[in-house]
Amino acid sequence: MSAEAGPIRILAVDDHPVVRQGIAGLVAVHSDMSVVAEASNGREAIQQFRAHHPDVTLMDLQMPEMGGLDAMIAIRGEFPEARIIVLTTYAGDAQILRALKAGACGYLLKNSLHKELLETIRVVHAGKKALSAEASYQLAEHATDDALTPAELRVLRLIAEGNANKEIAAQLSVSEETIKGQVRNILSKLGANDRTHAAMIGLKRGIIEF
């Protein structure tokens, strides 16, 4: 749909009413866009998308009942042309990559909404992709990193839950030596000083999540 056909129709999805109000307030003073529907979780987002067929959807990632990533996958599965911009407080590169693989057209941090939101909506509506400067930096910074293997990811999650190597070995039915080797690999790949530091990096970058 071209801009001349009417304002860009927006669906705002966030579990915090104050964020949705803020978006509506920013959009209200611009005649080329309009918030046509709101949702407070992923399930509502899918329902509202089906009802309104918005031109652009603004999607939070961390929400109760159903998160933004699952909602985005469901919406894109049903409506492949859906244009979705992720709005989040997190700039972890692993999370950004997951969102882009799920079909996000844009990725914005909530702390930069006032500066970048309106322009990002217009860019995405025009069929282009738009990443915030911080998101682009995070992707570039880790672009050449060795990715953790599925086995190393499992170990990192269990470390983050507070398990010692011996407990992890018992849970995964492997030797403690195997776990020690995997922990060494994890520390090396993440540039971590110790197990706790590795868990913190994993959470910050969105490699693991709770």
Question: How does pLDDT run across 25-59, given as a tens digit for each residue?
Answer: 999 999 999 999 999 999 999 999 999 999 999 99
pLDDT of residue 210: 64
Here the CATH number for the domain that contains residue 163 is: 1.10.10.10
Q: What is the pLDDT of residue 2?
A: 43
Burial of residue 50 (number of CB atoms within 10 Å: 0-12, 13-18, 19+) = exposed
Q: Which residue range is the domain that position 200 belongs to?
A: 150-204
- What pTM did the predictor assign? 0.76
Q: What residues in the chain have per-residue pLDDT under 50?
A: 1-3
Q: What's the CA gap between 121 and 129, in Å, rounded?
A: 10
Q: 39 lies in a domain?
A: yes
Residue 12 placed within a domain: yes
Same domain, 136 and 155: no
Are 97 and 120 members of one domain? yes
59 and 109 together in one domain: yes
